[in-house]
């Protein structure tokens, strides 16, 4: 499982409240990613990080921000949650050896915004 | 824009009935084609990465192949435990290694 944990695993919150999801990895991987998964859309990239304090946007970044103050932790924040952000959120890491790449996912966080 | 299309959306098989899943893609500069298995309520589980046309990889009853336009995941003599959603994703040449996913094929294998 590449040592990836996510917390919380489940969360129910109300519209307009801030929410922070945490991804923790234990193997010093440089690249980390946040995806959301919704029926009919597959997995879509929200934000990613290529090092401490180095982050960039993915295809569905509106309404989300991220931070990475240390290698092992990548935080996803919904500043003011909306019902459209109800989803399952997955964190992933990239493990590259030469020009070969494998990507591993965490167990996910199910977020419900009422 | 990168596009990844998986077909069929759903596949119901009898135990032992071999079949194939398709992943067609349109990208500018494929670096790798990834296959994952996902069980309900869990994160995607990495299966294979394919890098060049003609490459094949196998794992138990699964075999993935790659052409210049599509990839196939062959399931040989499936068992009920092969029931899952299978996802494919493409990675293009860039500095970020990010993936673009298809919507998945849900496979159900009946005993």
Per-residue confidence (pLDDT) for residue A46, from 0 to 100: 97
The answer to which of A65-69, A97-101, B4-8 has the lowest mean pLDDT is A97-101
Average pLDDT over residues A83-101: 90
Would the pLDDT of B95 be above 80? no
Identify which of A32, A104, A111, A108 has the alpha carbon closest to the alpha carbon of residue A70. A32
CA angle A86, A91, A92 (to 5 degrees): 145
% of chain B residues with pLDDT over 90? 88
The per-residue pLDDT for range B17-60, each reduced to its tens digit, is: 999 999 999 988 899 999 999 999 999 999 999 999 999 999 99
The per-residue pLDDT for range A19-71, each reduced to its tens digit, is: 999 999 998 999 999 999 998 888 999 999 999 999 999 999 999 999 999 99
Identify which of A20, A18, A16 has the alpha carbon closest to the alpha carbon of residue A8. A20
Instruction: Output the average pLDDT for chain A.
Output: 94
Partners of B110 in the beta sheet?
Answer: B14
Is A44 at the interface with chain B, CB within 8 A? Answer: yes
Would the pLDDT of A1 be above 60? no
Instruction: Please state, in angstroms and rounded to a whole number, the distance separating the CA atoms of residues B82 and B65.
Output: 18
Would the pLDDT of B103 be above 70? yes
Per-residue confidence (pLDDT) for residue A25, from 0 to 100: 96
Q: Name every chain B residue with its beta carbon within 8 A of the beta carbon of A41.
A: 103
The per-residue pLDDT for range B63-72, each reduced to its tens digit, is: 999 999 999 9
Closest residue in chain A to residue B39, using alpha carbons only: A107
What's the length of chain B?
111
3-state secondary structure string across B3-32 = EEEEECCEEEEECCCCEEEEEEEECCCEEE
Instruction: Please state, in angstroms and rounded to a whole number, the distance separating the CA atoms of residues A53 and A66.
Output: 9
Q: Which one of B42, B46, B91 has the shortest CB-CB distance to A104? A: B46
Is A14 at the interface with chain B, CB within 8 A? Answer: no
Per-residue confidence (pLDDT) for residue A54, from 0 to 100: 94
Would the pLDDT of A97 be above 80? no
Per-residue confidence (pLDDT) for residue A2, from 0 to 100: 67
């Amino acid at each position: 499982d590449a040592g990836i944990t996510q917390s919380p695993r489940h969360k129910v919150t109300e519209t307009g409240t801030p929410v922070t999801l945490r991804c923790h990895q234990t193997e010093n991987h440089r690249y980390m990613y946040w995806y959301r998964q919704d029926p009919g859309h597959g997995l879509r990239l929200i934000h990613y990080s290529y090092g401490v304090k180095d982050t960039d946007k993915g295809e569905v970044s509106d309404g989300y921000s991220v931070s990475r103050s240390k290698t092992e932790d990548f935080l996803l924040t919904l500043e003011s949650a909306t019902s459209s952000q109800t989803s399952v959120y997955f964190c992933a890491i990239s493990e590259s050896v030469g020009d070969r790449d494998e990507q591993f996912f965490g167990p996910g966080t199910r977020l419900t915004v009422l | 824009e990168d596009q990844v299309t998986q077909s069929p959306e759903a596949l119901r098989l009898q135990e032992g009935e071999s079949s194939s899943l398709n992943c067609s893609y349109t990208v500018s500069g494929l670096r790798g084609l990834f296959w994952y298995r996902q069980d309900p309520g869990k994160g995607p589980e990495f299966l294979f990465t394919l890098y060049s046309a003609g490459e094949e990889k196998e794992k138990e009853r699964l075999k993935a192949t790659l052409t210049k336009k599509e990839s196939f995941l062959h399931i040989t003599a499936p068992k009920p435990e092969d029931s899952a959603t299978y996802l494919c994703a493409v990675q293009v040449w860039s500095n970020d290694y990010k993936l673009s996913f298809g919507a998945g094929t849900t496979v159900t294998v009946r005993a």
